[in-house]
A and B are shown apart, each in its own frame.
Chain A
Amino acid sequence: MAHSSPASPPPDRRDFLAKAAAVVIGSALAVAAPVAGLVVALDPLRRKSAAGGAVQVASLAALPEGGEPRQFPVLATRVDAWNITRNVPVGAVFLQRLKGGAVRAFNASCPHAGCFVGFRADKNCYLCPCHNSTFATDGQVLDRTSPSPRALDELTAEVRNGGEVWVTFRNFRPGEKERIPV
């Protein structure tokens, strides 16, 4: 079919109602699917991490009094979206038995960006392999130019039943000066 001659645009206001209705309906049509999707996409914001209770991490016998810190995995129940798995590693802690018997526990995540720190026995300090943050054995930042904004995150540790070390494991938001649980 041949093209008809193009119609000229209608004069202003003549089709005002049709235009207004088309714009209103068109806008409604345009937002329906994105809004439905965004609500679902934002679902993670509604979810809070479950603050677990204390879990047994090690036996006291594995920590010589006055010895250097040792790293232990933390086994707990992991809720990962639809999966619930019991007794699986959810993180790691450094445990050190101080003189006098008390146990000190640090979350092994660096407060800077979340890499796992390691303990350097030769320098008697913790070192983060990612950005070289260093921490003293009491967890304090060693170097003033350290990228870590705060000391290592200390966790509550207690000895139960004579020889079990229990730790209340938590993760904290990295990169913040204050400890903010996640």
Chain B
Amino acid sequence: MKPALDWLDQRTGYKKLLHEALFENVPGGARWRYVWGSTLTFCFAVQVITGLFLWLAYSASAQTAWESVYYIQHEMAGGWFLRGLHHYTAQAMTVLLVLHLMQVVIDGAYKAPREVNFWTGILLLLLVLALSLTGYLLPWDQKGFWATKVATSIMAITPFVGPALQKLVVGGSDYGHLTLTRFLAVHAGFIPGAIIAFIGAHIWLFRRHGLTAKEPRRKPDAPFWPGQVLCDAVACLAVLAVVLFLVVRYHGAELGAPADPSEPFGAARPEWYFLFLFQLLKYFPGGTEIWGAMVVPGLLMLVLAAMPFIGKWKLGHRFNVGFLWVMLGGVALLTWLAVNEDRHNPDNAIAVAAAERDAERVVALARSPDGIPQTGAATLLRHDALTQGPKLFAKNCASCHRYDGGNGLGGTPTGKIGASDLKGFASREWLAGLLDPKQVDGPHYFGGTKFKDDKMVGFVKKDVAGFSAEQKAQLQQVIVALSAEAGLKSQRVLDAGDVAIIDQGKKLIGSAGVSCTDCHQFHVADADAVAPDLTGYGSREWLVAFITDPSHARFYGKDNDRMPAFGKDQRLSTQEIGLVADWLRGEWYEPEKP
């Protein structure tokens, strides 16, 4: 072994290099306060390695970025772990950068002759923040998409070059494939390359000027190896332990629903360490954003960069330390304000809940037998009744109707209920309520409509209320038969078991005893029918036709209350009406229970 190593040493001189690296003098001996630079180098190495492996599976395009990250996170063995490691190490790096900066400023390590090293450190800080910013977009989820959109829009306010700069960064006028290819190249190529170069310069300069000892020195000088190496290794291990805890605790990094420029996202927030900038921007009225986005942060960085000069004055070092504390305090305060504001904003809670719901749903859809189409996972949500139904309902129906007392999305509409509550529409329970004398004119059914005192309500309140036990039993059969017309997924088993009752009920609907066909049409054409057709009542076809045009002769005709003809008037597309109908009927993909 030794001859081989000697051979190598003669040709490379590695032993001298190793000796210099390991036996660098540590004035005053090893100390914990010197570990930050090493922990940062370790984190950067982890980021390079995990990033390269993530790159093996990542695909930068608008139709494949989210999809490939989904595949890493949910399908590949250990993918969630690798992604989590990359994600949380990035967060750790930001924290460590701040700690390193604090140690350097407090210990006065920025002073002559270390000015240039201090500046390379500040550049490294900015480069790492740029890594975070670019990496945030790459999963192409709603959160990253909207947050980065805000960031690049702010970039556009840069004087003179703003719009051109934004276009160059985004790769065009709008977000798309080129945004991702450019962000990936910057995130995984340009910035890491620059960081490696600057770390090289940083370490070289550090070695050139030696370590800045914290006075008073507690112990005699000692070499870097093994005392300080051990301190550094333990600190890196502690960082890794915290990162691993977070990775396991949160099962990798969060992945929101795929980016969709047509889907507003109220929960758009930057990564937590940029929240202070996000909050700062709120205080600058329209037209003055440049102060919050560029001038103030720019001035702060300028003061930071000028610290080596300020430090030369008598009270300069104290000023620098005080300035750093005030700046970090301000950042902490703004971050807390941002978090606190969100915490007390009910709209934010709803937006976050909706974001989580969509994120969970799209994974279920991606795992369905149909998988992800080549048009991308965003189309899965766009065509999903469970996702779109409540949104369409809240926007178009909830001003009159209710769904389980709310607007379908969990919110409560402000206006008075003006039409029926459609949760469970056409189910046996829903129809039983409709035909219940105590409920028919209540808010759940006709109470808020102009039919409150109309024939149907009168029939239920007078005739049905006086039904004999036998008639009540017949009414039950009518309910079962009418509900079976809908063919609801939730009642499929019940309907299949009640064939005889359904047949009997169908006959009863046409009989004089319950007299439905006095006003309604049922399977037999009836030109005199004045109330909605009961043929196929609540079926998809029936609901779509009804929402399309409730004033059609088949439904309410000229007696229609206030319901707009959503399809006929082109307020909603056929597809959107279908999604509302499917949602009301409970027709959507459900993953099989394991």
The docked-state distance in angstroms from the alpha carbon of A9 to that of B234 is 21
Are the C-beta atoms of B78 and A15 separated by less than 8 Å? no
Contact A36–B81 (Cβ < 8 Å): yes
- A4 to B27, Cβ gap below 8 A? yes
- Which residues of chain B in 334-379 are interfacial with respect to chain A, using CB atoms and an 8 Å cutoff? 366, 369-374
Q: With a CB–CB cut-off of 8 A, which chain A residues contact B137?
A: none
Cβ contacts under 8 Å, A22 to chain B:
225-226, 229-230, 233
Starting from the known contacts A29-B236, A83-B372, A84-B372, 5 additional A-B residue pairs (CB-CB under 8 Å) come to A1-B213, A22-B225, A22-B226, A22-B233, A85-B373
Is A26 part of the contact surface with B, judged by Cβ < 8 Å?
yes
In the assembled complex, how far is the CB of residue B228 from the closest CB belonging to chain A, in whole angstroms?
9
Does A81 reach chain B (CB closer than 8 Å)?
yes
A residues less than 8 Å from B213 (CB atoms): 1
Task: Tell me the smallest distance from the CB of A23 to a CB of chain B, in Å.
Answer: 9
Interface residues on A, range: 35 or more
The answer to whether A41 and B56 touch across the interface, beta carbons within 8 angstroms, is yes
Proximity bits, B239-271, A CB within 8 Å = 1, else 0: 010000000000000000000000000000000
Provide the residues of chain B in CB contact with A34, threshold 8 Å.
Answer: 49
Beta-carbon contact of A82 and B67 below 8 Å: yes
B371 touches A83 (CB 8 A): yes
In angstroms, Cα B240 to Cα A25, docked, is: 11
Tell me if A121 counts as interface (CB < 8 A to partner B): no
Could you tell me which residues of chain B, from 16 to 68, have a CB within 8 Å of some CB in chain A?
23, 25-27, 42, 45-46, 49-50, 52-54, 56-57, 64, 67-68
Q: Which of chain A's residues has its CB closest to B234's CB?
A: A25
Decide if B209 is an interface residue (CB 8 Å cutoff): yes
| Least Cβ–Cβ distance between A79 and chain B, in angstroms | 7
A21 interfacial by beta-carbon distance below 8 Å: yes
Residues of A near any B CB (own CB < 8 A): 1, 3-10, 15, 18-19, 21-22, 25-26, 28-29, 32-34, 36-43, 46, 79, 81-85
Q: Closest residue of chain A to B42, judged by CB?
A: A29
Partner of A9, one of B23, B70, B370: B23
Set of chain B residues within 8 Å of A46, measured between Cβ atoms: 77
B221 interfacial contact with A, CB 8 Å: yes
CB within 8 A of B373: which of A7, A21, A81, A83?
Answer: A83
Kindly identify which residue among A1, A33, A38 contacts B209, using a CB–CB cutoff of 8 Å. Answer: A1
User: In the bound complex, do residue B221 and residue A4 qualify as a contact, i.e. CB atoms below 8 Å apart?
Assistant: yes
Residues of chain B with a CB closer than 8 A to A25's CB: 230, 233-234, 236-237
- Indicate whether B534 reaches chain A with its CB closer than 8 angstroms: no
Q: Tell me, yes or no, whether B550 is within 8 Å of chain A by CB.
A: no
Residues from chain A with Cβ under 8 Å of B26 in the complex: 7
For chain B, residues 395 to 443, give those with C-beta under 8 angstroms from any C-beta of chain A: none
Of B25, B56, B78, the most chain A CB neighbours within 10 A belong to B78
Q: Does B222 contact A (CB under 8 A)?
A: yes
B85 touches A (CB below 8 Å): yes
Q: Tell me if B210 counts as interface (CB < 8 A to partner A).
A: yes
Check if A18 sits within 8 Å of B68, measured CB to CB: no
Residues A36 and B230 in contact in the complex (CB < 8 Å), given A81-B68, A83-B373: no
Nearest CB on B from A77, distance (A) = 9
- Cα distance, A7 to B226, chains bound together (Å): 12
Question: Does B49 lie within 8 Å of A83, measured CB to CB?
Answer: no
Q: What is the bound-complex CA distance between A18 and B231, given in angstroms?
A: 9
**Are A40 and B79 in contact, CB atoms less than 8 angstroms apart?**
yes
Hey, which chain B residues are within 8 Å of A6, CB to CB? 23, 25, 223
Contact (A40, B82) CB under 8 Å given A3-B25, A82-B366: yes
In this complex, the member of A29, A38, A46 whose beta carbon has the largest number of chain B beta carbons within 10 angstroms is A29
Q: Nearest chain B CB to A69's CB is how many angstroms away?
A: 32
Residues of chain B with a CB closer than 8 A to A38's CB:
53
Whether the pair A40, B237 counts as a contact (CB closer than 8 A) is no
Which residue of A4, A10, A43, A84 contacts B79 across the interface (Cβ within 8 Å)? A43
Contact assessment for B226 and A19 in the assembled complex, using a CB-CB cutoff below 8 Å? yes
Q: How far is the CB of B359 from chain A (nearest CB, A)?
A: 16
Cβ-closest chain B residue relative to A15: B226
21 chain-A/chain-B pairs, Cβ below 8 angstroms: A1-B210, A6-B25, A7-B23, A9-B223, A10-B226, A18-B226, A22-B230, A25-B234, A29-B237, A32-B85, A33-B49, A36-B82, A36-B85, A39-B77, A39-B78, A40-B54, A40-B77, A41-B56, A42-B77, A81-B68, A84-B370
Q: How far is the CA of A81 from the CA of B72 in the complex (A)?
A: 10
Q: Bound state CA distance, A39 and B56, in angstroms?
A: 12
A86's closest neighbor in chain B, by CB?
B370
Are A32 and B46 touching (Cβ within 8 A)? yes
Is the C-beta of B504 less than 8 angstroms from some C-beta in chain A? Answer: no
Residues from chain A with a CB closer than 8 A to the CB of B374 are 83, 85
Contacts of B81 in A (CB 8 A): 36, 39
Question: Nearest B residue to A81 by beta-carbon distance?
Answer: B71
> Do B223 and A7 have beta carbons less than 8 Å apart?
yes
> Could you tell me which residues of chain B, from 201 to 234, have a CB within 8 Å of some CB in chain A?
209-210, 212-213, 220-223, 225-227, 229-230, 233-234
Given contacts A4-B210, A40-B78, are A29 and B230 in contact (CB under 8 A)? Answer: no
B76 at the interface (CB under 8 A from A): yes
Q: Which residues of B contact A37 (CB under 8 A)?
A: 49-50, 52-54, 82
Distance between A80 CB and nearest chain B CB, rounded to angstroms: 9
Measured between beta carbons, the chain B residues less than 8 angstroms from A5 are 25, 221
**Which residues in A have their C-beta under 8 angstroms from that of B23?**
6-7, 9
A33 and B223 contact, Cβ closer than 8 Å, known pairs A39-B82, A83-B372: no
Q: Does B541 contact A (CB under 8 A)?
A: no
A8 — which chain B residues lie within 8 A by C-beta? 223
| Alpha-carbon distance A10/B220, docked complex (angstroms) | 13
- The answer to the question of B463 belonging to the interface, with a C-beta cut-off of 8 Å to chain A, is no
Residues on the B chain within 8 Å of A15, using CB: 226-227
